[in-house]
Amino acid sequence: MSTLLILLPDAPPAATGTQDYEFWFSPDAQAPARAGGRGERAPLDAMPKADRVMALLSDAAVSWHTVRLPLALRGPKLRSALSGVLEESLLEDPERLHLALMDVDKGLPGLAEDVDHPETRLEDGENPPRWVAAVARDTLKAHLQAIQNAGLLLEAVFPVSWPDGRLGGHVDQGPDGQPRLRAWSPPGIATFPMTSAGVRTWLGDTWWTQAKVSATPPVSAEAERLLGRPVEVLNDTERAWAALGAPINLLQFELTPRQRGWQRVYRAWQVMQGPEWRPFRWGVIALVAVQIIGVNAMAFQQRRALDNRRAEQEQLLRQAFPQIRTVRDAPAQMQREVDLARARAGQIGPGDLEDLLGAVARAMPAGQPPLQGLRFENNRLLLTGLPAPVREQVRDRLFQNPALRVSDEGDTLQLSLRPTTR
């Protein structure tokens, strides 16, 4: 699945709309291998089309803060609560900043407790502290609008680095050419000149000796010399691709993408094409295959059972009535032959007048005079002239016989035999 990753500059986009952006493109969702480890540069409308488009914000564009809020807060109430809690700690008006909350359900705790930092310890019933990212709203919205104008459907915006409750950092080359350290620990995250005399004092010996630190190739040797231990070397491409695992998407609150139905379906389909969804895809294919095989096997068994039943009926018909040469509908032909044989023998059959009269006699109240209105036609018995109370009583009793079909039309009571289900 092709992926386009765009690094957003710290400054707003140029008014002319021809500004170049650094980007990385991968046709298979794997980190592209480029000489020097840097991305390509091009205007937004000249970038390659991709299934997934995501953006990155540099360390300088994002500041991090901690808050304690009830987990039940959602939507506009949560945004208002964030502004109120962070108002004293932000250098700018909260309304000029875009705030995004790290979700505690993303696999990382909002802010891990650490025994070396008492401020991270929780009292009973206390809300856990959570990380909040603050970004210049106007600048971010300007870049998002430029991306939209270029016809790109942006899926997410990730920070290049983020606090994860552990000791860590990254060293890159600052504007002055000197190594610059982005360090994070449970209490917070900040950027320092690596050569500053007070940086080790501020971070503490525990961070200086145990933190997991990475560095870009130009300053990796200097970082190892200052730290006195090896560091992980990450070029810009590797670090940008690692940012896809960030536990926070900055497109929250008013910047949440409002997609139409087909866009949601398309986005979900594209996400499921990723390698992490391969077991799920194979599972769905296997489930569908098993269902298809099972349905066909059941249908085959049902056809076999019906064929066997039909063959048994035809065999029984030929044995009982050898004179029948052609079998079209064995149950109907057998019923017809039985009715003819009963009629020749003068026996009463279901639906005959005698059978229906017997049912009426059993339902008739005692002491009633003989029936005056009686007619039998087409296997139906019609009774007329019954007093209304007697007719209702007879009708209610006949209704209790499941073999009879009874209808009451005016002063006429109609009675017939229900057809038997074959």
Element (H, E) at 129: strand 129-136
- Quick check: 109 pLDDT over 70? no
Tell me what the pLDDT averaged over the chain comes to.
81
CA distance 24 to 33: 10
Please write the tens of the pLDDT for every residue from 159-198: 998 887 789 999 998 888 888 999 988 777 888 888 887 8
CA quadruple 72, 271, 137, 133: dihedral, nearest 10: 50
Mean pLDDT of 267-274: 66
Please write the tens of the pLDDT for every residue from 310-323: 888 888 888 888 88
In this prediction, residue 159 carries a pLDDT of 93
Contacts of 234 (CB under 8 A, 6+ apart): 170, 214, 215, 216, 242
Confidence band for 112, pLDDT divided at 50, 70 and 90: very low
**Which pair of tokens denotes residue 378?**
């087409």
In this prediction, residue 268 carries a pLDDT of 66
**Which pair of tokens denotes residue 406?**
């009874």
* Helix segments in 273-405, DSSP class H: 278-320, 330-345, 353-363, 388-399
Q: How far is CA 6 from CA 24, 38, 165, 243, 250, in A?
A: 7, 12, 27, 12, 14
Q: How far is CA 338 from CA 299, 320, 335, 419, in A?
A: 34, 10, 5, 15
- Quick check: 148 pLDDT over 60? yes
Q: Higher confidence at residue 57 or residue 266?
A: 57
CA quadruple 116, 120, 125, 131: dihedral, nearest 10: -160
In this prediction, residue 362 carries a pLDDT of 82
3-state secondary structure of 195: coil
DSSP for 375-407 reads EEETTEEEEES--HHHHHHHHHHHHT-TTEEEE
In this prediction, residue 21 carries a pLDDT of 92
Strand partners, 233: 215
CA distance 88 to 252: 22
Contacts of 145 (CB under 8 A, 6+ apart): none
Percent of the chain past pLDDT 70, that is, above it, reads 84
Q: How far is CA 190 from CA 147, 159, 216, in A?
A: 29, 14, 18
Angle, helices 353-363 vs 388-399, to 10°: value is 110
- The DSSP letter of residue 160 is S
Contacts of 374 (CB under 8 A, 6+ apart): 381, 382, 383, 384
Least confident of 106-115, 133-142, 363-372: 106-115
Q: Higher confidence at residue 203 or residue 89?
A: 203
Least confident of 68-77, 163-172, 233-242: 68-77
In this prediction, residue 73 carries a pLDDT of 72
pTM of this structure: 0.59
CA distance 372 to 378: 20
Which amino acid, one-letter code, is at 330?
A
